[in-house]
Structure 1
Amino acid sequence: MTRAMEDKDDCTEVIYDRPKFPKRAVITAGMPYGNKELHLGHIGGVFIHADTYARFLRDRIGKENVIFVSGTDCYGSPIVESHGQLVDSESFKGGIEDFVEHYHHLQKKVLEEYHMDIDLFAASSLGAAVKIHKEVSNEFIEKLYSNGHMTKITTSQFYDPERNVFLNGRQVIGKCPIEGCSSERGYADECSLGHQYMPVDLIDPKSTLSGKKPEMKDVTNWYFKLDEYYSLLNEWVAYIEEMPNCRTSLTRTIKEFLKLPVIYVKKDQSDVLNSMKDILPKHRLIDENNKASLVLEFENIKEREEACLLLAEKSIRFRTGKTLVPFRLTGNIEWGVPAPSIDGMDHLTFWVWPESLWAPISFIKTYLNQLNRGKDAWKDWWCSKESEVYQFIGEDNIYFYGLAEMGMFMAMQGKDPIAYPPEGQLQLPNLIANSHVLFLDKKASSSGNVKPPTAKELLDYYTVDQLRAHFLGLSLGVRSASFQPKPLNPKASEKDKDPVLKEGNLLTNVLNRVARSCFYTAQQYYHGKIPIGNISEDVMRESKDTILQFEKLMYRYEFHTLMDLMDVYIRNMNKRWVKNMKLAEENQDSKLHMQVVIDGFHQLRTAIVLMHSIAPEGTEMVRTYLNLNEDFWDWHKIFQTVYDFMEKPEEHPLKFLEPKVDFFKKHPSQLL
């Protein structure tokens, strides 16, 4: 996906290999649950990256061609559980809808404080999105049914006889049965790391209501036949693996589930297992000398589940492996989107995960409806080969977005879907999954032992631009990284540097200093105007190379390398200014002095255009003082000089910069 660009700004024609961006783009950020404020994982792990990419694409392909949506995930058992606990403790008064509305407004307010340029931050149970989300949900399940991609499955659901109620997903806690899982806790049919399993497989379950072991009672729900999508999903994974902007961590995690169903049994139980070989469904026994367990491999999930029941009857300890299982679509929790009556299945609601996967489509429809764009306008954004969808998520949710979502979106084509949806059908999104943001070297979770600071609390210590630059530099696309703010670290001493300010200092110290020098020098020596002249060839070359590298890194979502690139460019820019201005002043060389200013403003132009998506507040302020319009950010003009944006360069006045004014400001707490 590259194209050639002819550079005709100098005498020689150079052909650059540049990445190709879509005509239109949808950006989504993983939806926060409606039972909590935004914490550092939401902001630092997802929203800042999504907003940076959305801002870049607006500059790159035009703001009218980019829509950025997200919203509060309002339904599901975690919200019911949180609401019930707070009402019982008299910490909250009001119904569950009041509860999610309260947190939705808190989330939206914090996103505004972080200057997130979101076109619509909606809520699945509130406002204009409610009706549209219900319609989209109904359309999904009805199409899946009519296309033959759904099945009824009767399973045993946990039931608390002491409280005389069925238990929802988060009202049962045990241990995840998936081999090798490091999750801190397992719930009814998924663990805290997103592994899916049948409820009967949960190890040592307990009711959170009574603390007792629950019983199992049969319930029937609709499931999407995800287990039948091995071939299509393998074909899709093979395709995206060849894309230069596909992260290996994403496909590696997805492929862990694209395996045949297996059961692990400890070798010390091999005698009992051997006595059952004639009654177990057809399987292949794998015995690896260096492993502690025997592996029973089955052709399909049904045969594995039959084997699980037989092993459980014989009291044989076992664990199941990752594989594709039918994906639950409905449930009986009252607080959910009502599911339509299909084939005699009444009074069901959608399970929260499937409806949250298509919620961004609901939000796109809601946003375009508010603009009076027409009922089918959303298809230009989600069903066109000229458009791309970019979904920014946390790595814990790869199973849902990378397998369930892709399978369901394929299934919407018809009875015989293909891996590459044709024009007019739902296109498969690009997934950008970030690793965990650790807090002081430990995994932070609002429901775990290590409580991270809220996103709002971080603004008591840092500016938005400082936080954006730092979180982008954390290498979350490669590995989990620790967030170690000095003001919140009890082990930090007074003389220790604040790790969070490393990238921010590039803005507040280096770039700010050069920007101020450019303006103050123009005011003092050149009547508040940029002197006219040719930019030095080496400055043009370095700027051009940096632009092209920046573009490639942004295309590949390599945000941390992007920050390294800009660190080099901005520091070189500063060194050049200091060195050459010193020479000019020592030698009273007016020609060199003018050249330093001419080159300085071109490098400043390049730096702030590239940093515009990363540090929007400070860069917008620089543009304002350059006294230029917003087409200054247009990447179709990226190789042009600052003069090209002035009607009469020799007469163009810069806005007067008062003494001691900063473009990239430090937080007030850092000035004490």
Structure 2
Amino acid sequence: MDNSKIKRYTVTAALPYTNGPVHIGHLAGVYIPADIYARFLRSNRRDVKFVCGSDENGVPITLKAKREGITPQEVVDKYHKIIGDSFKEFGVSFDIYHRTSSLTHHQTASDFFENLYDKGVFTEEVTEQYYDEEAKQFLADRYITGTCPKCGNENAYGDQCENCGSTLNATDLINPKSTLSGNKPILKETKNWFLPLDKYEDQLRTYIESHKEWRPNVYGQCQSWLNAGLQPRAMTRDLDWGIKVPVKGAEGKVLYVWFDAPIGYISATKELCNYAKLDVWNPMAEEYYIRTVESDKCGWEEYWKEEDTKLVHFIGKDNIVFHCIIFPAVLMAHGGYILPDNVPANEFLNLEGQKISTSKNWAVWLNEYLRDFEGKQDVLRYVLTATAPETKDNDFTWKDFQARNNNELVAILGNFVNRVMVLTHKYFNGVVPTCMEITAQDQSVIDELALFPDKIAFSIENYRFREALSEVMNVARLGNKYLAETEPWKLIKTDEDRVRTILFVSLQICVNLQILMEPFMPFTSEKLMNMLQSGGHIWEEAGSAKLIKRGHKICEAALLFDKIEDAAIDFQIEKLNQSKATNALVTEVVPAKENINFDQFGEMDIRVATITAAVKVEKTKKLLKLTVNTGLDERTVVSGIAEHYKPEDIIGQQVSLLVNLAPREIKGIVSQGMILMAENAAGKLVFVAPTTNFDNGSVVR
């Protein structure tokens, strides 16, 4: 969109599920870049609404409630407060932090569904869906896990594989199981309402292809979906928690969370614009108890329906399809709404070389960070922006966090500001000195300073926040270089007027830093503003060398940052090590298979055997070719244990062998039997074998 035609901005950040606190992966992927962008727009006096809120519907909520033994309402109330308080303390400057349990949201989402229903957009289909016979419940996507058909991940969900990022249907999973009982679910007929995405494929393609400026991961994933051919997708679910489907014959069904969640941006904007003053809505209620009062001059529609509004969604890469395909299709079907102008989705952030896992507590939780590093919000904001996974997955380590604080924030940014403030107080009693003669050296610095605001703005407007932050730090580097070359602490003895000019220019750099760093490090910017007593400046003033006047009194110097010692970092690393140790002790018990009768068991002939030879199977990673003495004969067995045992280490190893398994050809080798192994939750394999030496051929009963 041509920036000259934009009158207002609607900036959204993905609604976090209220089933746990926010961690650094969420911050780096969504909330910090969104906040930088919104703060930058405000600094440029743009009309912007920055909206977010808790996603309080969906299966993750009910799963959390079952695990904690509390109600879904108690779960959302608990984590809405934790998340909201953490965002506020961290300085994420939402104009509103909403929640999808509000009456405004329930009514807005219901109205959307009814609009599409009345237009005949939905198709009503009876399909077979997974059902847990023991739990007596249809299974929503996240109630089913199994093996991903695309990458082989054994812990994929019924809607998505978090390992490869593929979007799935539950029936795509190999070896599906219910997360409620652990049993294999059955297929059972049920009726739901589907959004025929295939009918909007041409419109969506035209829309997507008009945004080739989107990040490659976003544009590429959208094209992949379109090229594969879009299929109808159910917009309702068989659940008892969520927004009830507002049509007859839909008892026991709620709106699909990815139908209602993006609409949460709209309902949040409504409440922000005084659409209604409401209490929290109980989704289990059978009717609305509070009357909506809408202002005639509410104004929310300007931010969602006017063509001169720019809509930007900040999300993680796992939400691309929902924000770029499904939600735009819903908006197209409804009519009257603008479509997202950009969806700058980040990749994933890993932690200490491993994927962040909430279930394994392998994460840095925001609420815990704020407790452990009091007053250091901007350090984390800085590090997560400097290492943001904008184009590829990246890694957060505590040692890098410490190094960036000590070697960059303290030694570069903090050092420059502190030296200028201290020298101004030491030589001129904290009063901005008069600028005397400007030398070529001074002018060169002033000219270079003037270039930074546009460079930083260009990077931010193109969603390159790492690049923009690097340029902010280059302003501090420019200041340090200027002081190092001019050495005012030496000149003061012989040329006080020269020192006046040097500190005057240096103070201008400080004021510029205060303006330019604000979107990235708002707490530090405010601290510096208070020291300089220079409030009220906006972005368009940055680049000037006349922002602070001679004779202006500044406050005493204070350190912007202090060093982080090894002990604080060691404590955080130890917390992660404890999580790793705990995870190693916790074994996920695989649910029992269906019962067999004794005769079936009796047909299995399991014998003690000894491995007499072992070699790797060429062009494979997992396979070993074993020669085993069964006491009956000597035979060949191919076993997938090469990643766990070296061939030379298992010669002479006794094993339990299923000897009457039908022969099978594997990689051109006829394998006669199967060695019994035990596997733990971490995937480690060990032999099931006698604890003392036993005769080959002994029967295992």
Q: Which residue number corresponds to residue 338 of structure 2?
A: 426
Is 1:546 matched with 2:452?
yes
The code of the aligned residue for 1:410 comes to M
1:595 corresponds in structure 2 to 501
Question: Which stretch shows the higher mean deviation, 549-558 or 586-595?
Answer: 586-595
RMSD (CA atoms):
2.6
Contact 1:229 1:407 in 2 (8 A): yes
Does 1:111 pair with 2:87?
yes
Say which SS state the counterpart of residue 12 (structure 2) adopts. strand
The structural deviation recorded for 1:411 is 1.7
Matches within 5 A, 1:121-200: 121-125=97-101, 130-177=102-149, 180-181=150-151, 183=153, 185-192=155-162, 195-200=166-171
Preserved contact between residue 189 and residue 202 of structure 1 (Cα < 8 Å): no
* Superposition map of 1:207-246 within 5 A: 207-241=178-212, 243=213, 246=214
Separation in 1 of the partners of 2:92 and 2:22? Answer: 13
Are 1:50 and 2:34 counterparts? yes
Shift of the 324–504 alpha-carbon distance from structure 1 to 2, 3 Å rule, reads: farther
In structure 2, relative to structure 1, the CA distance for the partners of 1:590 and 1:394 (3 Å cut) is same
Q: Residue 456 and residue 233 in structure 1: after superposition, are their counterparts in 2 closer, same or farther (change >3 A)?
A: same
2:428 maps to 526
Q: Deviations over 1:124-179 (max 9, x none)?
A: 11xxxx111011111211222233432112211111223333223222211233xx
Query: For residues 407 and 671 of structure 1, do their structure 2 counterparts lie closer, same or farther at Cα, with a shift above 3 Å needed?
Result: closer
Matched to 1:379, the amino acid is E
Contact 2:35-2:93 at 8 Å conserved across structures: yes
State the partner residue of 1:79. 61
Unaligned stretches of 5+ in structure 2? 278-293, 570-701
Distance 2:434 2:393 in 1: 48
Amino acid at match of 1:529: V
**Secondary structure of the structure 1 residue equivalent to 2:497:** helix
- AA paired with 2:231? V
Cα offset for 1:377? 1.1
Q: Deviations over 1:29-77 (max 9, x none)?
A: 2121111111121223221111111111110234xx2222211111111
- Where do residues 380-419 of structure 1 align in structure 2 (5 Å cutoff)? 380-413=302-335
Contact 1:543 1:603 in 2 (8 A): yes
Q: Cα distance 1:228–1:118, how it changes in 2: closer, same or farther (>3 A)?
A: same
Task: Return the letter of the residue paired with 1:663.
Answer: L
Partners of 2:484 and 2:313 in 1: how far apart?
43
Structure possessing the higher radius of gyration over alpha carbons: 2
- Mapped to 2, the partners of 1:182 and 1:435 lie a distance apart of 21
| Match for residue 256 of structure 1 among 221, 224, 229 | 224
Given candidates 245, 263, 266, the residue that maps to 1:339 is: 245
Give per-residue Cα distances to partners, 1:203-252, cap 9 Å, x unaligned: 211122332221111111111111222211221122110x3xx2112101
Which letter maps to 1:30? A
Match of 1:652 in 2: 552
Distance across 2 between alignment mates of 1:81 and 1:671? 34
1:471-482 pair list within 5 angstroms:
471-482=384-395
Please tell me whether the aligned partners of residues 402 and 564 of structure 2 are also in contact (alpha carbons under 8 angstroms): no
Whether the 8 Å contact between 2:508 and 2:544 is mirrored in structure 1 is no
Name the CA shift for 1:667/1:374 in 2 (closer, same or farther; >3 Å): farther
Alpha-carbon spacing, 1:571–1:651, altered in 2? closer, same or farther (3 Å): closer
- For residues 382-405 of structure 1, the C-alpha deviation after alignment (integer angstroms, 9 at most, x for no partner) is 212232222111111111111111
Partner of 1:101: 77
Q: Does 1:510 align with 2:486?
A: no
Alignment map for 1:324-473 (pairs within 5 Å): 324-341=230-247, 344-369=249-274, 374=296, 376-413=298-335, 425-447=337-359, 449=360, 451-459=362-370, 460-461=372-373, 463-473=376-386
Work out whether residues 120 and 363 of structure 1, in 8 Å CA contact, stay in contact via their aligned partners in 2.
yes
Identical counterparts, % of pairs:
27
Contact 1:222 1:330 in 2 (8 A): yes
The whole-number CA distance in structure 1 between the counterparts of 2:250 and 2:138 is 18
Distance 1:464 1:164 in 2: 47
TM-score (norm 1): 0.76
Structure 1 spans left out of the alignment, 5+ residues = 3-18, 88-93, 261-322, 414-423, 487-497
2:409 & 2:28 partners in 1: Cα distance? 18
Q: Which residue of 2 aligns with 1:292?
A: none
2:487 match: secondary structure: helix
Residues 226 and 325, structure 1, Cα contact 8 Å, conserved in 2: yes
Q: 1:43 to 1:622 in 2, by over 3 A?
A: same
Contact 2:434 2:551 in 1 (8 A): no
Counterpart-to-counterpart distance in 2, 1:197 and 1:619: 45
Kindly provide the amino acid, as one letter, of the partner of residue 381 in structure 2: R
Confirm or deny: 8 A CA contact 1:580 1:592 kept in the other structure: no
Amino acid at match of 1:662: L
CA contact (8 A) 1:539 1:603 kept: no
Q: Is residue 197–residue 325 contact of structure 1 (8 Å, CA) maintained in 2? A: no
For 2:225, what is the secondary structure of its paired residue? coil
**Map of 1:606-617 to 2, 5 A cutoff?**
606-617=512-523
Instruction: Answer 1 or 2: higher relative contact order, Cα 8 Å, separation at least 6.
Output: 1
Kindly state the Cα deviation for residue 189 of structure 1 after the two structures are TM-superposed. Answer: 4.1
Q: Give the drift of 1:112.
A: 2.1
Show the counterpart of 2:659: none
CA distance, structure 1, for counterparts of residue 21 and residue 568 of structure 2: 29
Match of 1:483 in 2: 396
Query: 1:454 is aligned with what amino acid?
Result: W
Mark the CA change 1:173 to 1:425 in structure 2 (over 3 Å): closer, same or farther. Answer: closer
Q: What corresponds to 2:621 in structure 1?
A: none
Segment of structure 1 superposing worse, 207-216 or 99-108: 207-216
User: SS state of the match for residue 588, structure 1?
Assistant: coil
How high is the TM-score relative to the length of structure 2?
0.73
Q: 1 CA distance for matches of 2:454 and 2:543?
A: 10
Q: In structure 2, how many angstroms separate the alpha carbons of the residues matched to 1:55 and 1:663?
A: 20
Verify the 8 A CA contact 2:433 2:551 in the aligned structure 1.
Answer: no
Residue identity opposite 1:518 in structure 2: V
Report SS of the residue matched to 1:35. Answer: coil
Counterparts of 2:455 and 2:221, CA distance in 1 = 28
Give the Å deviation of 1:181.
Answer: 3.9
Over 3 Å counting, the alpha-carbon distance change for 1:77 and 1:425 in structure 2 is closer
Whole-angstrom distance in 2 between the partners of 1:577 and 1:570: 11
Q: 1:184 to 1:33 in 2, by over 3 A?
A: farther
State the 1:539 CA deviation: 1.9
Paired with 2:169 and 2:429, the residues of 1 have a C-alpha distance of 75
Letter in 2 for 1:525: Y
Q: Give the Cα separation in 2 of the matches to 1:43 and 1:545.
A: 30
Relative to structure 1, the CA distance from residue 197 to residue 583 in structure 2 (aligned partners, 3 Å threshold; closer, same or farther) is closer
Task: Mark the CA change 1:368 to 1:105 in structure 2 (over 3 Å): closer, same or farther.
Answer: same
Amino acid at match of 2:299: A
Shift of 1:436: 0.4
- What is the CA distance between 1:666 and its match in structure 2? 4.5
For residue 493 of structure 1, what is the aligned residue in structure 2?
none
Q: Deviations over 1:550-594 (max 9, x none)?
A: 011001111111232233332121121122025852772223211
